[in-house]
Amino acid sequence: MLISFDCPKCLKMTRGEDASQVVHCKSCGWTRQTTSNSAKDESLCSCLVCGCNDLWRQKDFDQRLGVLIVGIGILLSTVAVAYMMPGVAMIILMVFGMADWVLYGILPDRLVCYRCHAQYRKVPNLEKTGVFDLEVNERYRQEAIRLKQKETSSPS
Ligand SMILES: [Zn+2]
Ligand SMILES: [Zn+2]
């Protein structure tokens, strides 16, 4: 299992680290032991960075890449239309649309933590985890805002 996360200590991003035994920050050396029940062939039930029990599943798909593919398709089809070839334009659009769709289908899922947004790749049995829930996300967003207010308003 690979993890990408923002370090709770130095706030720097660590990408694609193996997290089967320990979560380790490359920048400052922060570590957190991963408990036995959240490792190995069991799916992930709590975040290894913050311990949060709510995770959501999404496609490990770079949105920019998807937009780029569709963009190139539209550009090429526009050129075809300009050269009076509407049939070719249709085919180009269809091919690029298909490519986008096929790519989306073959790409694996990843898990994301609602609270700290750590991302987990190559998680076994992650189908059990639900997809993004706006309500849960809102709860964590509110919690984060409250925590921030507490920090700023607390007397020293
Ligand atoms: Zn760090
Ligand atoms: Zn987390």
State pLDDT tens for residues 89-129: 999 999 998 988 898 889 899 999 999 999 999 998 888 89
CA–centroid distance, residue 105 to ligand 2 (Å): 27
The pLDDT-based confidence of 145 (bands split at 50, 70, 90) is very high
**Per-domain boundaries in the chain:** 2-60+108-153, 63-105
Distance 31 CA to ligand 1 centre (A): 8
Say which ligand is closest to the CA of 49.
Answer: 2
pLDDT attached to residue 33: 86
Beta bridge partners of 18: 2
Looking at all shown ligands, the one closest to residue 23's CA atom is: 1
Q: Count of H helices and E strands in the chain?
A: 3, 7
CA angle 48, 54, 60 (to 5 degrees): 75
Alpha carbon of 131 to ligand 2 centroid (Å): 16
Ligand that comes closest to the CA of residue 31: 1
119 with 49: CB under 8 angstroms?
Answer: no
What does the alpha-carbon distance between residue 15 and residue 49 come to, in Å, rounded to a whole number? 13
Distance, CA 111 to ligand 1 centroid (Å)?
A: 21
What span, in angstroms and rounded, lies between the C-alpha atoms of 64 and 21? 32
Average pLDDT over residues 56-62: 89
pLDDT, one tens digit per residue, over 18-52 is: 988 889 999 999 999 886 554 455 778 899 999 99
pTM over cut 0.85:
no
